[in-house]
Structure 1
């Protein structure tokens, strides 16, 4: 039996994209088996356990091999990226055990890793496995990562202090302050960790990207022509997008509500699996929605805790009557719906009643909105989202 082993980072958006890649592989190669190595950590990366159970029950060609969680003290880490990277580094012995077990019963044809899982390349070499990256953001962000080692060698300051426009091959000029967050300050461990990841991309057997040629033609051309890695060969690039998850739970209350709304009339507000706002921001959003007079569907999560020890824990169930202005839910009940924590985003964006999307612009959300032709209003919150917004401004002009 031929097996492809996939290894995503534990973040919900990364896991969903990797599962969609697994579905694509089994669709084109039904004789192959796909095994996904998963980490479900104790700190908050989005609630993935229920999703994994759903995929296991509905796609028998995809199986999950759960790696043991390694307890880490979140208070010892400066960022979510730092704790995820440390968890993955410490999981290498467990990855070794998993690959050894899988190889005893099948032929592993390829090991496909998330960028966060770069530490596992050393394990794959012991098994002489070809290692491919699956890049879960767009080619615009990949071009940046491939060119970062060159920027590092030719500059001395941190992006956060440059106050200038940065030139990357195939991209419009990018404000230095919009750089991917872990790369903003070159004195941090986050920066050195991400620099190492950027240096490893060209050493892979190939890079798979969740994008498509007509979406990012200029930047894909720059990558494939080797301009982004001027001092060594660029590995093969495979554009396999848009990989967009299926609609999901069609019984959710919000879909029944959408069925009753006029075509293209509803603004959908949702900010990814980790996007949260302060209590003050939630009240201001509510005031804006009420004053706008427009129909809306809004996914609300509890504000982040002020306690340092809670920063990596899932937020509690939101108390809407406390978080939102007094009487807001009653006054807007004829044209608005607020749901707690989660909504089936793909099903919502594909619904005929939705006419706009206020989003954090995570790449999965961008692809979903583009796939269904839903205009976006951007509110970047974390990760590479400010950079994606800078590029998407140009992108949406081209599309429209």
Structure 2
């Protein structure tokens, strides 16, 4: 007997930056389209992943959302600390393919479509085996997609320098549709809803005592890390700015700015011995230090937050925009420099930190300056006005009849039609 409801399978690659948007897409498909959705999660650390609240299905999803953890994949044989996190992700996903195929083969009602991200494209062969529709979910901006599609055709130096001379998203999407022979469906922004967080009570209680738009929130994402020297310069810069701050701290590393990208969970580091001597005591009246993790959506939505010093990961960027928070762009790795350029040069949503030399640490005076610009100076007010426009645009796109809503409906209709075709045997 065939199910009459479309069943969508999503594959989430390792890392919170991949898992979060995939889960939000799954929730949209359940709540807006009433689809049955199965999310297959590829992970490097099941122990901590199993404890995260992100993998708890919403109460209103009923039996429509299943989350399946694929077996742990050991990739320790591919190299040591010198191996990039991207190589680790690619290898992990590739070695998970037999388990994904096995899970799909056991399903009583197999999925109508398979949705993967850029690291999961090997799974599209499995979709072909079971006559499933195939979609690639790009949880980033259209310019990043254009670069990925056109890399063989353009000079590498142009990519590295991120040269742009036009308003990004509308032009890029138009060009992609005209030059690439595949349909493109812009469905974002997909951002986690605000939830009452059991972990965030202390942080939110502190924010409740601060004046409106007076606090800079500092976080480099779930995996971003700084060198020991850079952590000290950042601490001095925050202190010299004389502004209020919430700083999500991770221990410094000398090896890789993405050193903890694949780590999951809510760990802590209570020693803070890598900060300048006396820094916590000197700033305790206006600063809050948060080891390892904070409920970011709840923090960014708080009225006392006046700016976000961010690594420019796309999840963080979207969370900042939908909450109307101007940004200080501090990119670390992957496509983050591209995102920072777009935010600063094209759409006017941020200012950007600059080191004196390309490979040098960002100095304390530069940090002091940008924090004051975003919270105190006229430049920050101008960016806040621009962010308000972007926030309204995002809300309109997701509302019924908006561009993102309509794109999601098109995808849903394609899946429904495919299911009917399969059921009729044609």
Indicate the TM-score class for this superposition, using the shorter chain for normalisation. 0.7 to 0.9
- Asked if the contact 2:168–2:342 (Cα under 8 Å) also holds between the matched residues in 1, the reply is no
Which residue in the other structure is 2:24 paired with? 20
Which residue in the other structure is 1:385 paired with? 336
Mapped partners of 2:231, 2:125: distance in 1: 45
**CA gap 1:247/1:91 in 2 versus in 1, 3 angstroms:** same
**CA gap 1:248/1:323 in 2 versus in 1, 3 angstroms:** farther
Alpha-carbon deviations, 1:137-184, whole Å to 9, x = none?
Answer: 111111111111322xxx5xx54xx798566xxx438xxxxxxxxxxx
Mapped partners of 2:159, 2:146: distance in 1: 21
Which residue in the other structure is 2:8 paired with? 4
Mapped partners of 1:358, 1:332: distance in 2: 18
- Asked if the contact 2:223–2:260 (Cα under 8 Å) also holds between the matched residues in 1, the reply is no
Which residue in the other structure is 1:255 paired with? 204
Which residue in the other structure is 2:420 paired with? none
Q: 1:172 aligns with which of 161, 165, 170?
A: 165
Tell me the SS of whatever aligns to 2:52: helix
**CA gap 1:93/1:314 in 2 versus in 1, 3 angstroms:** closer
Which residue in the other structure is 1:123 paired with? 126
**CA gap 1:256/1:97 in 2 versus in 1, 3 angstroms:** same
Shift of 1:288: 0.9
Shift of 1:353: 0.2
Q: After TM superposition, where is structure 1 displaced by more than 4 Å over at least 4 residues in a row? A: 162-167, 310-316
Mapped partners of 2:139, 2:332: distance in 1: 17
Aligned residues: 337
Mapped partners of 1:341, 1:237: distance in 2: 37
Is residue 2:172 matched to residue 1:219? Answer: yes
Give the alignment of 1:180-259 within 5 angstroms. 216-226=169-179, 229=180, 233=181, 235-251=182-198, 252=200, 253-259=202-208
Is residue 2:238 matched to residue 1:267? Answer: no
Q: 1:373 aligns with which of 308, 324, 346?
A: 324
**CA gap 1:322/1:165 in 2 versus in 1, 3 angstroms:** closer
Is residue 2:107 matched to residue 1:95? Answer: no
Mapped partners of 2:152, 2:252: distance in 1: 37
Tell me the SS of whatever aligns to 1:282: helix
Tell me the SS of whatever aligns to 2:290: strand
**CA gap 1:298/1:16 in 2 versus in 1, 3 angstroms:** same
**CA gap 1:282/1:263 in 2 versus in 1, 3 angstroms:** same
TM-score by length of 1: 0.77
Which residue in the other structure is 1:146 paired with? 149
**CA gap 1:357/1:74 in 2 versus in 1, 3 angstroms:** farther
Shift of 1:321: 4.0
- Asked if the contact 2:226–2:254 (Cα under 8 Å) also holds between the matched residues in 1, the reply is no
Q: Give unmatched runs, 5+ long, in structure 2.
A: 350-385, 388-426
Which residue in the other structure is 1:297 paired with? 246
- Asked if the contact 1:112–1:132 (Cα under 8 Å) also holds between the matched residues in 2, the reply is yes
Mapped partners of 2:260, 2:241: distance in 1: 33
Shift of 1:41: 1.1
Is residue 2:115 matched to residue 1:112? Answer: yes
Which residue in the other structure is 2:285 paired with? 334
- Asked if the contact 1:34–1:62 (Cα under 8 Å) also holds between the matched residues in 2, the reply is yes
RMSD: 2.7
- Asked if the contact 1:74–1:312 (Cα under 8 Å) also holds between the matched residues in 2, the reply is no
Which residue in the other structure is 1:180 paired with? none
